[in-house]
Amino acid sequence: MLVLMALVLAALVALVVVLARRAPQPPTPGDTARRILDERFARGEIDQEEYERRRDALART
């Protein structure tokens, strides 16, 4: 009986670990800033020089 309870508990812990790893992670602020920068460049709001300058500044932080 004790072994069965231990196996059930181990299965529950393993299930929680698997589900926690599969959960989507929120984007980091750097990823969000880079995505916004990419979108602004794609829409033509900023030119290539401005894009590269800001991209390099984001990479340094």
Instruction: For 20-56, write each residue's pLDDT tens digit.
Output: 888 787 777 778 899 999 999 999 999 999 999 999 9
DSSP 47: -
**C-alpha span between 47 and 54 (Å, rounded):** 11
**C-alpha span between 46 and 42 (Å, rounded):** 8
Query: What are the residue ranges spanned by the domains of the chain?
Result: 2-60
- Expressed in angstroms, the distance from the first to the final Cα of the chain is 56
| pLDDT for the residue numbered 43 | 97
Residue with tokens 């299930």: 15
pTM for the model: 0.54
| pLDDT for the residue numbered 53 | 97
